[in-house]
Amino acid sequence: MTHEMISRRAILVGATSLVATLPLRTLAQGVGPSIHVMKDPNCGCCSAWIDILANDGFAVTTEASAGTLLMRYKLDNGIPREMVSCHTGRVDGYMIEGHVPVADIHRLLVERPDAVGLAVPGMPYGSPGMGPESARDAYDVFLMRRDGSIEVFTSYAAA
């Protein structure tokens, strides 16, 4: 009988612990940082990058913009012309230009450098949203500093 009581007690304690931690698990898997993305409404690669962010737990909002208006938004927010790509995100005070990998965005948010943000200029094949990573071209993620300097934040080798 004692063995049976312990087993029931163990089950009850385990079940109670599981129920008590469900809200924490939901937070960990649910809504992460909020990111607002300005993008051309007809761009499929932008939508693919946004899906990657959402699947990683980012709370993503989007706004359609194109042409001169989108370029003005980029320049007004400190993104140099040589760093421009197809879409622009804003997360926790940082600008994210182009197909920046999620891991680099997380690193930026942890390290919190004095910077405008990160950029992957152009649209390198195999970057997030631009085809399979297994066949990617080599590319760099750049850190755009507030003083106007630009440095390599992360380098990705060709696969």
In this structure, the answer to whether residues 135 and 108 fall within a common structural domain is yes
Question: Does 81 lie in the same domain as 52?
Answer: yes
Cβ atoms within 10 Å of 88's Cβ, excluding its own: 25
Q: Using alpha carbons only, what angle is made at residue 117 by residues 113 and 118, rounded to the nearest 5 degrees?
A: 110
Cβ atoms of residues 79 and 119 within 8 Å: yes
Question: In this structure, are 25 and 38 located in the same domain?
Answer: no
8 and 59 fall within a common domain: no
> Model-level pTM?
0.79
59 and 12 within one domain: no
pLDDT of residue 9: 52
**Does the pLDDT of residue 91 top 70, yes or no?**
yes
26 and 54 together in one domain: no
- Does 112 score more than 80 pLDDT? yes
Number of domains in the chain: 2
Give the pLDDT band of residue 105 (cuts 50, 70, 90). Answer: very high
Same domain for 61 and 79? yes
| Bridge partners (DSSP) listed for residue 145 | 115
Q: What is the pLDDT of residues 19-36, one digit of tens each?
A: 444 344 334 445 789 999
- Domain range enclosing 18: 1-30
